[in-house]
């Protein structure tokens, strides 16, 4: 399996029949985490909850796990969306995990996501998955590098208003279709430069069949935010 950067072309995504293809589950991090003294989430794990988009949101979950109970979770600007899922106190083996079902989706599964780090956040990651509840794990992406957002030498800075294609990656893998449960981990394989070093993830999307261009993914996040504001 190979990791690739997707081309940047803002097109409208027209999903196929839900029984065959389309958006399975997607997390655009729609809610800000608590802030203020004594309110910021800390601990070994934190979850942003079920996917906010897609046909299989029920039972889905996006969470982070850290060996250190001092890990802090925040929601800074996303990559072209209002919020991202960020944490610090990273150690080798810590991870973000998406849980979802692909039951009834018969076309090849592709996962796309945006990820960035601070200057001292971990940069070396892998993607592993399990279809048996975590008993056995398989490697989907053996190694990838997370780019820095902001600061000297960074190719860009994440903004809620501007999407940057450099931070978007994807992979496709056979065997994830029509599974009752998939556990997918974005796992650190290298240490952070310090306990305050952070890593953030955004726009985690699981597709069956056709995949829209990254610009269209960002537009879906903005459209969802606008709809919530109207309500």
Asked, for residue 66, whether it belongs to a domain, the answer is: yes
Q: Count CB-CB contacts under 10 A for residue 107.
A: 17
Is 118 part of any domain? yes
pLDDT digits (tens, 9 = 90+) for 160-181: 999 999 999 999 988 999 999 9
Counting Cα atoms < 13 Å in the Cβ hemisphere of 40 gives 13
**Residue 17 domain flag:** no
In a domain? residue 127:
yes
When divided into structural domains, the chain yields a total of 1
Q: Using CA atoms, how far apart are residues 23 and 204, in angstroms rounded to an integer?
A: 11
3-class SS at 165?
Answer: helix
Classify residue 210 by burial, with Cβ atoms within 10 Å: 0-12, 13-18, 19+: middle
Instruction: Let me know if residue 46 belongs to a domain.
Output: yes
What does the pLDDT look like over 147-160, one tens digit per residue? 999 998 899 999 99
Cβ-contact 105, 175 below 8 angstroms: no
* pLDDT tens sequence across 100-149: 999 999 999 999 999 999 999 999 999 999 999 999 999 999 999 999 99
Q: Is residue 197 part of a domain?
A: yes
Task: Spell out the residues 6+ positions from residue 122 whose beta carbon is closer than 8 angstroms to its own.
Answer: 90, 94, 146, 188, 190, 191, 192, 197, 199
**What pLDDT digit, counting tens, does each position of 11-40 carry?**
223 333 444 579 999 999 999 999 988 999
Compute the average pLDDT of residues 2-10.
37
pLDDT value at 9 more than 50: no
167: domain CATH number is 2.60.120.260
Indicate the range of 76-85, 120-129, 179-188, 212-221 predicted with least confidence. Answer: 212-221
Is 130 domain-assigned?
Answer: yes
Residue 113 lies in a domain: yes
How many whole angstroms separate alpha carbon 222 and alpha carbon 108?
27
CA distances from 46 to 4, 67, 79, 207 (A): 28, 12, 21, 24
DSSP state of 72: B
* Residue 139 confidence (pLDDT): 97
pTM for this entry = 0.86
Helix (H) or strand (E) holding 215: helix 214-230
Q: Residue 102 sits in which domain range?
A: 22-30+40-230
> How far, in Å, CA of 10 to CA of 117, rounded?
25
**Percent of the chain whose pLDDT exceeds 90:** 79
């Amino acid at each position: 399996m190979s990791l690739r950067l997707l081309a940047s072309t803002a097109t409208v995504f027209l999903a196929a029949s839900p029984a065959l293809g389309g958006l399975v589950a997607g997390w655009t991090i729609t809610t800000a985490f608590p802030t203020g003294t004594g309110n910021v989430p800390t601990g070994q794990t934190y979850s942003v909850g079920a996917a906010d988009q897609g046909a299989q949101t029920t039972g889905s979950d996006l969470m982070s796990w850290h060996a250190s109970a001092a890990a802090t979770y925040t929601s800074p600007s996303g990559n072209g969306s209002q919020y991202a899922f960020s944490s610090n106190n990273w150690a080798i083996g810590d991870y973000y995990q998406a849980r979802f079902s692909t039951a009834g989706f018969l076309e090849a599964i592709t996962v796309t996501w945006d990820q960035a780090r601070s200057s001292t956040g971990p940069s070396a990651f892998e993607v592993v998955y399990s279809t048996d509840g975590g008993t056995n794990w398989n490697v989907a992406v053996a190694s990838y590098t997370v780019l820095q957002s902001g600061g000297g030498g960074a190719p860009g800075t994440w903004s809620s208003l501007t999407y940057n294609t450099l931070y978007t990656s994807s992979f496709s893998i056979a065997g994830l279709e029509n599974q009752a449960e998939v556990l997918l981990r974005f796992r650190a394989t290298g240490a952070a430069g310090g306990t305050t070093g952070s890593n953030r993830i955004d726009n985690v999307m699981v597709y069956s069949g056709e995949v829209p261009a990254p610009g269209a993914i960002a537009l879906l996040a903005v459209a969802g935010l606008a709809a919530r504001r109207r309500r």
